Structure 1
């Protein structure tokens, strides 16, 4: 006979402190809390005026995510470096990520392409940006930074000469491709709190994951793999 499982009182009392969310499409469920630093860091970025609407950066009013997913004022970013490097598809990111991604493209990826590949970069292939889901899509896992528009996955780089360098093939590709991709990772590690490459695990064998998560109380701890 099926029995109703016993749930301790202290567990019941704690549930309001965390939101148990399940996607309408039957996706993975997860427990998520809205940490105070998320809103404060985003509000500070917005107040600074460092991110302004342009032809390549437009505010998004509604992300459509349940519960704690989303951001105060997310942006659709279709290009970086004053439009010189386009994103395909456009990325949905919160304000602090916009600044860090633009700096990464302009001052790390572009110079690395010129140094190791002898040409300029014209496009990034965006594998994922905003997505209200768990880490690596695993049921019961912690909410991904993608769910807060606080992460970006990049899988390939299109060059001005027509070549396309993918993370999947290039990571163990020619010497120049390997040098370029490792320089891209190094530049990311200087700008983001989390950087995951093919060296990290099987979930990142074909892309770079970058985010601005806070791994400790003061946000000084970084993950670079």
Structure 2
């Protein structure tokens, strides 16, 4: 028993040291989102646990909308839309402008609140910095193929249902820059030009924020868009990125 107590005591000591080291690491970098227990703040820099906290918002629509409010994102809450396999209870429609909101084309993108929250963090921490770094400008609008669609994966007649069936996914087709330039997934993905590097950078950044990020590197069905979703995957919280 004495030996067992020594072992347990050593493990507790190591755990305390690891926790203290994690705290110092997070606050030294100015990234409290590196810690699993800090509350999510959409305006904070992306940390190790930001993605999991965003995905967890699928269980708390009021908390999600409160985060959007505090971050200055313009939106309208949508009434619940029900069905046996399709529908949502946390839908919102993103509005134009706002203190911290990007425009979407076509306008009025309607999606689940957790997807909208992740899109906001993606814009501020990934999309705009990549545009400024590679083009010296900003993204003024994001082109999309929509979110909600009551269908199974790949439109099949049977099999698993798509995250689009609950508005927990959005398909991004391209970007418009402040200088008028248009960057499209289908036209600019390949090659070493700045446009291709930009698209791959925003894909890589999305992998830290969404449960699933799929691009033309995944398969031909995604040749013209980035699929971003907040699929619930239980306690493991594994993420798909390709």
- Whether TM-score is above 0.5 comes out as yes
How big is each residue's C-alpha offset from its partner over 1:198-224, in whole Å with a ceiling of 9 and x where there is no partner? 000011001000001123x31421110
* Structure 2 residue aligned with 1:60: 78
Kept in 2: contact 1:81–1:102 (CA 8 A): no
Kept in 1: contact 2:74–2:101 (CA 8 A): no
Is the counterpart of residue 85 in structure 1 residue 102 in structure 2? Answer: yes
How big is each residue's C-alpha offset from its partner over 1:136-179, in whole Å with a ceiling of 9 and x where there is no partner? 11221311101111001000100010000000111015520111
* Structure 1 residue aligned with 2:60: 44
> TM-score, length-normalised on structure 2?
0.69
- In structure 2, distance between residues paired with 1:80 and 1:110: 15
Q: 1:147 to 1:213 in 2, by over 3 A?
A: same
- In structure 1, distance between residues paired with 2:97 and 2:121: 8
Kept in 2: contact 1:46–1:95 (CA 8 A): no
Pick the structure with more helix per residue.
2
Q: Does 67-76 or 197-206 show the bigger shift?
A: 67-76
Is the counterpart of residue 150 in structure 1 residue 150 in structure 2? Answer: no
- In structure 1, distance between residues paired with 2:179 and 2:161: 39
How big is each residue's C-alpha offset from its partner over 1:43-85, in whole Å with a ceiling of 9 and x where there is no partner? 424236213397831011154x632312213101145873552
Report the secondary structure of 2:67's partner residue. Answer: coil
Pairing partner for 2:155 from 106, 126, 137:
137
Q: 1:82 to 1:131 in 2, by over 3 A?
A: farther
Is the counterpart of residue 70 in structure 1 residue 120 in structure 2? Answer: no
* Structure 1 residue aligned with 2:193: 175
Kept in 2: contact 1:197–1:204 (CA 8 A): yes
* Structure 1 residue aligned with 2:33: none
- In structure 2, distance between residues paired with 1:129 and 1:83: 21
* Structure 2 residue aligned with 1:101: 119
Task: Give the number of equivalent residue pairs.
Answer: 184
Report the secondary structure of 1:87's partner residue. Answer: strand
* Residue ranges of structure 1 left out of the alignment (5+ in a row): 1-39
> TM-score, length-normalised on structure 1?
0.74
- In structure 2, distance between residues paired with 1:116 and 1:81: 25
Pairing partner for 1:207 from 213, 218, 225:
225
Kept in 1: contact 2:61–2:90 (CA 8 A): no
- In structure 1, distance between residues paired with 2:97 and 2:208: 18
- In structure 2, distance between residues paired with 1:55 and 1:220: 26
